[in-house]
């Protein structure tokens, strides 16, 4: 295992000449549809640092989109995955099973909210998990419809594109989409027209009214929602919204699915973001942070719902690959040993006050929000709530040039989001915030 020095270091412009050469090869060989946020090519990464082919070391506030919460080369992940790799790479769990898969399912049953009997099924990607949650909910309820929310993101397969709210870039030109998907309002406090204090009650009432009028609750198999909308802009639904929706689902025999693919595994300072409002979802989808960077995803939930699909109805060639399962067990071990929930909360305690101080100085910052290590800044034209995606892109670009990896998101493309690895050192965290402050001062 290589130890990456935990310090930012720029020895060339970003991207440097070797990255630019590789980018030219990428352009020739890789489909243009596969975009790149920051065109530096990585040689190694760990802790809070990404090192590139030119020898630059960048501070990582992205974690490969909320994946490497334990770092990109966590000791327990590397050790367990390497040991598994040396034993066997694959048998297909559906053909001849192995213990690691079962152990991951056992951990998921322990860690997810609620003490009812739970079961899991493992897959390769978040989108695949969401698709399977819908399959399971339909098998259980024998109903067709799926309800999703404004600003929601659930993946890039055909069904999950249908579930995703935003057209560009996720859906444009890729339809037609799967039927029986209905979208209802989300309690987006900052943009709720009658004010944030009314958002939870009014948005829930509107959503429920639309479900009753447009679909009929008795035709709804599942309500699928992110406890904090990730790609949509790190939108925490106004407090009280999620419990109202969950209660409506319960009253009507609808499977309540929390998509915790981005929010799960310590990211928000709890094992799962559902816990912040005491929610006990019927099904939870997980991926991203689950396995320290290896591809793994899961649907976990009430045993009687999970068992509704007939034997052979769920699965896939690689789902719950043994190396990915070993990595997940290493990641979970790391989260427990280092108490990464506490680390995530500490990251929030460091970042939020500093970003709020920036908000005082820079009127382009409309709102600072987030929980734990899932923090965002929404940028607007000063004095209005008019989204400013151009300034957002400019700030991100300035951060990249200074050696800080940041990502943008949001329905209006005007949100800077920060998802540092939970193991990042506090000095790097503060240095990253200095870079963000300089970037705001410069635009």
Ligand X SMILES: *Cc1c(COP(=O)(O)O)cnc(C)c1O
Binding residues for ligand X, rule: CB under 6 A, are 125-127, 130, 153-155, 226, 230-231, 259, 261-262, 287-288
Name which of 127 and 351 has its Cβ closer to ligand X: 127
Q: Is 240 exposed, middle or buried (0-12, 13-18, 19+ CB in 10 A)?
A: middle
Name which of 126 and 237 has its Cβ closer to ligand X: 126
- Least spacing, CB of residue 263 vs ligand X, in Å: 7
Q: Which residue is nearest to ligand X (CB)?
A: 126
- Least spacing, CB of residue 430 vs ligand X, in Å: 27
Name which of 54 and 226 has its Cβ closer to ligand X: 226
- Least spacing, CB of residue 297 vs ligand X, in Å: 6
DSSP sequence for 227-296: SSBTTTTSBPPPTTHHHHHHHHHHHTT-EEEEE-TTTTTTTTSSSSGGGGGT---SEEEE-GGGGTTS--
Looking only at Cα atoms, what is the longest distance across the chain? 62
- Least spacing, CB of residue 235 vs ligand X, in Å: 12
What is the bridge-based pairing of β-strands 283-286 and 255-259? parallel
Name which of 4 and 325 has its Cβ closer to ligand X: 325
* C-alpha dihedral, 68 to 70 to 76 to 80, nearest 10°: -30
Name which of 65 and 280 has its Cβ closer to ligand X: 65
Which token pair is 212? 């009753």
- Least spacing, CB of residue 288 vs ligand X, in Å: 6
CA distances from residue 375 to 11, 217, 354 in whole angstroms, order as listed? 29, 35, 12
CB 288 within 8 A of CB 67: yes
- Least spacing, CB of residue 413 vs ligand X, in Å: 16
Which token pair is 137? 């909910």
Name which of 15 and 281 has its Cβ closer to ligand X: 281
The alpha helices in 338-425, defined as continuous H runs, are 340-361, 389-401
Q: What CA–CA distance (Å, rounded) separates 207 from 241?
A: 10
- Least spacing, CB of residue 380 vs ligand X, in Å: 24
Name which of 141 and 262 has its Cβ closer to ligand X: 262
Q: What CA–CA distance (Å, rounded) separates 50 from 73?
A: 11
Q: What CA–CA distance (Å, rounded) separates 275 from 146?
A: 23
């Amino acid at each position: 295992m290589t130890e990456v020095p935990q310090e930012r270091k720029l020895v060339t412009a970003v991207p440097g000449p070797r990255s630019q050469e590789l980018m030219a090869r990428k352009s020739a060989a890789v489909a243009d549809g596969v975009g790149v946020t920051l065109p530096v090519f990585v040689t190694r990464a760990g802790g809070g640092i990404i090192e590139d082919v030119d020898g630059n070391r960048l501070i990582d506030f992205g974690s490969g989109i909320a994946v490497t919460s334990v770092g990109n080369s966590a000791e327990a992940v590397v050790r367990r995955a390497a040991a598994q790799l040396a034993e066997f790479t694959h048998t297909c769990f559906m053909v001849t099973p192995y213990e690691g898969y079962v152990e991951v399912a056992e951990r998921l049953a322990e860690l997810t909210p609620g003490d009812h009997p739970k079961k899991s099924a493992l897959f390769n990607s978040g989108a695949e998990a969401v698709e399977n949650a819908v399959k399971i909910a339909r098998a259980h309820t024998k109903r067709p419809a799926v309800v999703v929310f404004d600003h929601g993101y659930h993946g890039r397969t055909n069904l999950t594109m249908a579930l995703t709210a935003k057209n560009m870039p996720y859906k444009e030109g890729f339809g037609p989409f799967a039927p029986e998907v209905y979208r209802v309002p989300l309690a987006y406090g900052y943009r709720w027209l009658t004010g944030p204090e009314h958002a939870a009650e009014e948005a829930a009432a509107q959503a429920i009214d639309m479900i009753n009028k447009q679909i009929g609750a008795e035709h709804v198999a599942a309500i699928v929602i992110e406890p904090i909308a990730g790609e949509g802009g790190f939108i925490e639904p106004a407090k009280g919204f999620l419990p109202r929706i969950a209660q409506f689902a319960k009253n009507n025999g609808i499977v309540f699915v929390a998509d915790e693919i981005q929010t799960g595994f310590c990211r928000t300072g709890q094992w799962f973001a559902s816990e912040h409002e005491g929610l006990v979802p019927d099904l939870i989808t997980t991926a991203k942070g689950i396995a320290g960077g290896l591809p793994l995803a899961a649907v976990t939930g009430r045993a009687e719902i999970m068992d509704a699909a007939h034997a052979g109805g769920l699965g896939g060639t690689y789902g719950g690959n043994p190396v990915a399962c070993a990595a997940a067990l290493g990641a979970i071990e790391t989260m427990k040993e280092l108490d990464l929930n506490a680390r995530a909360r500490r990251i929030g305690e460091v970042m939020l006050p500093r970003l709020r101080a920036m908000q005082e100085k820079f009127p382009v910052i409309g709102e600072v929000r987030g929980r734990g290590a899932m923090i965002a800044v929404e940028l607007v034209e000063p004095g209005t709530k008019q989204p400013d995606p151009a300034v957002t892109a400019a700030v991100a670009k300035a951060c990249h040039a200074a050696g800080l990896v940041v990502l943008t998101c949001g329905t209006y493309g005007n949100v800077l989001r920060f998802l540092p690895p939970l193991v990042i050192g506090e000095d790097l965290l503060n240095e990253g915030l200095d870079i963000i402050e300089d970037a705001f001062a410069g635009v």
